A and B are shown apart, each in its own frame.
Chain A
Amino acid sequence: MNIVVCVKYVPDATADRKFEDDNTVDRVGVDGLLSELDEYAVEQALQFREKREGEEITVTALTVGPEKAVDAVRKALQMGADSGVHVVDDAIAGSDYLGTSLVLAKAVEKIKADAGADLVVCGMASTDASGSVVPAMLAERLGLPQVTLASVVESQGDQVRIKRDNEGSTEVIGATLPIVLSVTDQSGEARYPSFKGIMAAKKKPLETWSLTDLGLDAEQVGLSVAYTQVEDTTARPPRTAGEVVTDEDGSGATALVDFLASKKFI
């Protein structure tokens, strides 16, 4: 069995994230890293393998992104993934959800032809676009069921059961492999790469694919053929600093209530 885990290289959320002149996300000028939310996906892929001791299970980490995005795959390899694939092509830059999901789907299909793709694992969202739609799009393109936003993942044979929080309820969802799975940050702390893991990662297979390798044309992806167009990006003006008072013998509560009353909240 082979598990494909999709990982994204994103601008560091704690850095000063910004846009390029063409309104695409600046993915080069800002320090990047493996999206924190995809670390949980890597962790769950690894746990899936570890819980099923005795079975032959491999984990392939897949990313689509500029040259530096290979760091996301490297991190996954350091954590314990067996092999990596980095799809990089200048023509991919500026792809929207549809373009990105197309490249990912083609890459998963290619991995499937070589090593299999019985389970595709994603994070619940990227930390930059926060759309949470790529797993569903990937499932649609691959013709697979999707089981998303899992906080607990269990499997036996080809059956997968997950638990998740929904609006107003907790649900258990069942499906038969192959599926696309997404996991939340509630699924369990992601491991840190060990020194041994870091050294071992250097010897693991890491392939670089272009659009041609995937049988795609430059005209099928990228900014120019995106189904959506960003017309403008504006930095939000910093909130003007409000009044901050220090509570002394109950003065804070009085001031708070007065403020709320002045704004007609009470």
Chain B
Amino acid sequence: MSEVLVVIDHADGEVKKPTYELLTIARRLGEPSAVFFGSPDKGDAVAEKVKKYGAAKVYVVDDAPIKGFLVAPKAEALQQLAEQASPAAILLPSTFENKEVAARLAIKIGSGLITDAVDVSEDGVTTQSVFAGNYTVQAKVTTGTPIITVKPNSAAPEEAEGAGTVEAFAATISDAAKGAQVVATQPRQSTGRPELTEAAIVVSGGRGTGGNFEPVEGFADSIGAAVGASRAAVDSGWMPHAFQVGQTGKTVSPQLYVANGISGAIQHRAGMQTSKTIVAVNKDPEAPIFELVDFGVVGDLHSVLPAATEKITERKG
């Protein structure tokens, strides 16, 4: 069976959930080989994790020489790995960085690229959600090695034991690939909440919060949700851009999306319309968001959310 390269999504060796989703999808296409860009001394621990989801091999690419040089070196490494492994496909978690790695790789190896897939079938047909979720597109790479970036929450991770053989891969990185460099990084303070794009539940606030996100955050915490914001709330300076859901922020596809004080402009819908269940709380009964909802409350979020939070906390006892 051909190898399918899966680029591991991780933070300093902590493997993230989209990796397991990708490995699950990769098994439909061939035998998954996970690719770890990171510190070699974390390779074994990462292999232990990903072999549970069917990784037969784990290529470890030491990222020490390329750290801070962004996407171009990774594309070179993947090109060399693809030449060695002749994979049936290359899958990457759909982040901005990985989409750019995939873009450079596609040119390097002369292969078609499909971005932001929400599903990939056994015969390599991808499903994408486009035009703010108003259309579903089925497509296929017809030239070269299919390179597909897949969005979080596109498959339920299924365990399957793989060999997880660790193999160090020494990539040769050109100087030309090191033309752009991170010169400073300021980590954002962790909120302790689930990550927005990976969360099963997302609770968002918009203009209707009036800048007070406490009811939104309190409600989110009562149901273990990530917190998001509309562009209006971000532009007003109420929430950092990293929390923005929509066309120019994050696209989320959780099991449950709760929009509070958000009117539901097309740009916002583009970021959340594929959510499984949609709930809205808004004072304006005419808000377009109500066209999308499975359940809606016409009311003031400042009274509805705290009351709901209290009831949920009571239920939990």
Contact = CB atoms under 8 A, between A and B. Distances in A.
B66 interface: no
Interface string A98-132: 10010000000000000000000000110111111
B183 interface: yes
A37 B143 CA distance: 30
A147 interface: yes
A236 to B, nearest CB: 6
B143 to A, nearest CB: 4
Residues of B contacting A: mostly: mixed
Interface string B280-317: 01000100001111111111100111011011100110
Contacts of A13: 132, 247, 266-267, 270
A78 B114 CA distance: 35
Size category of the binding interface on chain B? 35 or more
A17 B297 CA distance: 30
B80 interface: no
Contacts of A141: 107
Contact of A227 (B95, B102, B144, B281): B144
A226 interface: yes
B186 to A, nearest CB: 5
B106 A98 contact: yes
A243 B139 contact: no
Interface stretch (B23-31, B155-163, B173-181, B204-212): B173-181
Interface string B208-242: 00000000000000110000000000000000111
Residues of A contacting B: mostly: mixed
B40 interface: no
A48 interface: no
A186 B291 CA distance: 29
21 contacts: A133-B102, A137-B103, A139-B104, A140-B75, A165-B241, A169-B187, A170-B186, A173-B182, A175-B181, A185-B248, A227-B144, A228-B114, A230-B137, A234-B137, A235-B135, A244-B293, A247-B304, A257-B308, A257-B312, A263-B277, A266-B222
Interface of B: 11, 70-72, 75, 95-97, 99-104, 106-108, 110-116, 125, 129-144, 176, 179-188, 190, 201, 222-223, 240-242, 247-248, 255-256, 266-267, 270, 277-279, 281, 285, 290-300, 303-305, 307-308, 310-312, 315-316
Q: When A and B form their complex, which 4 residue pairs have the shortest distance between CB atoms, in order from nearest?
A: A247-B299, A145-B179, A227-B112, A253-B307
